[in-house]
A and B are shown apart, each in its own frame.
Chain A
Amino acid sequence: AQKITQTQPGMFVQEKEAVTLDCTYDTSDQSYGLFWYKQPSSGEMIFLIYQGSYDEQNATEGRYSLNFQKARKSANLVISASQLGDSAMYFCAMREGRGNEKLTFGTGTRLTIIP
């Protein structure tokens, strides 16, 4: 089974609208962390937001929030008031256990913001 599943290969969203990017994960570890990264066409990976498995509240970072539903093993990224600069690839990733920095990535979602 895939450890990280992103089912939306591509999305088109009107500027200023909110958008939700889906991510489901699979792990038997009790301790894990979930990350979202943005990759513009330039190739750099930009960290957006992090959610720990023991965090009770959903993470928020500016316009980004993470809708964490532990029982359903989902960690969807919500971008409010989308901007043209949000057009990029978005990757969900998971770090399992502790004492390691290995991330397992999903296949990504290409988000295009339409003016």
Chain B
Amino acid sequence: KAGVTQTPRYLIKTRGQQVTLSCSPISGHRSVSWYQQTPGQGLQFLFEYFSETQRNKGNFPGRFSGRQFSNSRSEMNVSTLELGDSALYLCASSHETDHSPLHFGNGTRLTVT
């Protein structure tokens, strides 16, 4: 079974631009969640989607948005990029049972210059 796939792996953008990150979950997983990892703030939850609906949202500004498609694939968008958005963005999917872990992708490393 293929794991969680995130594209692209690396991205360099300029302040003020926008970016879209993509995540394909493990087949059969309907929940997709996104996390931001920075040296200063650690791992922080961005949002979670389940069956195309945002089910949970972290404490991030509205510049961060996401969506999920009918095939469970998810995209995350960041508009008006700031230097502080430079981070590793991790996507995770899960099977949604009590003992099921979240399976993470390799992440997209975003650098904002």
Known contacts A101-B31, A101-B33, A101-B92, A47 near B106 by CB under 8 Å? no
Specify which of B43, B45, B50 lies most central, judged by the most chain A CB atoms within 10 Å of its CB.
B43
Q: How far is it, in angstroms, between the C-alpha of A34 and the C-alpha of B35 when the chains are bound?
A: 17
Q: How far is it, in angstroms, between the C-alpha of A52 and the C-alpha of B90 when the chains are bound?
A: 24
Whether a CB of chain A sits under 8 angstroms from the CB of B99 is yes
Q: How far is it, in angstroms, between the C-alpha of A35 and the C-alpha of B102 when the chains are bound?
A: 9
- Which of A18-26, A62-70, A103-111 lies at the interface? A103-111
Tell whether, in the assembled complex, residue A44 and residue B102 are in contact, meaning their CB atoms are under 8 Å apart: no
How many residues on the A side are at the interface (Cβ–Cβ under 8 A)? Answer: 24
Q: With a CB–CB cut-off of 8 A, which chain A residues contact B101?
A: 35, 47, 50
Q: With a CB–CB cut-off of 8 A, which chain B residues contact A47?
A: 101-104
Whether a CB of chain B sits under 8 angstroms from the CB of A91 is yes
Whether a CB of chain A sits under 8 angstroms from the CB of B94 is yes
Bitwise interface map of A from 82 to 113 toward B, beta carbon under 8 Å scored 1, else 0:
00000000010100001111111111100000
Q: How far is it, in angstroms, between the C-alpha of A91 and the C-alpha of B102 when the chains are bound?
A: 13
Q: With a CB–CB cut-off of 8 A, which chain B residues contact A42?
A: 106
Bitwise interface map of B from 22 to 47 toward A, beta carbon under 8 Å scored 1, else 0:
00000000010101000000111100
Tell whether, in the assembled complex, residue A43 and residue B109 are in contact, meaning their CB atoms are under 8 Å apart: yes
Q: Which residue of B lies closest to A108 (CB)?
A: B42
Q: List 15 A-B contacts (CB under 8 A).
A: A33-B99, A42-B106, A45-B90, A47-B102, A93-B43, A100-B48, A101-B50, A101-B55, A101-B92, A102-B58, A103-B35, A103-B43, A105-B44, A107-B42, A108-B42
The 8 closest A-B pairs by CB, nearest first: A45-B104, A105-B43, A47-B101, A101-B31, A44-B106, A102-B56, A43-B107, A100-B56
Q: Which residues of A contact B (CB under 8 A)?
A: 33, 35, 37, 42-47, 50, 52, 91, 93, 98-108
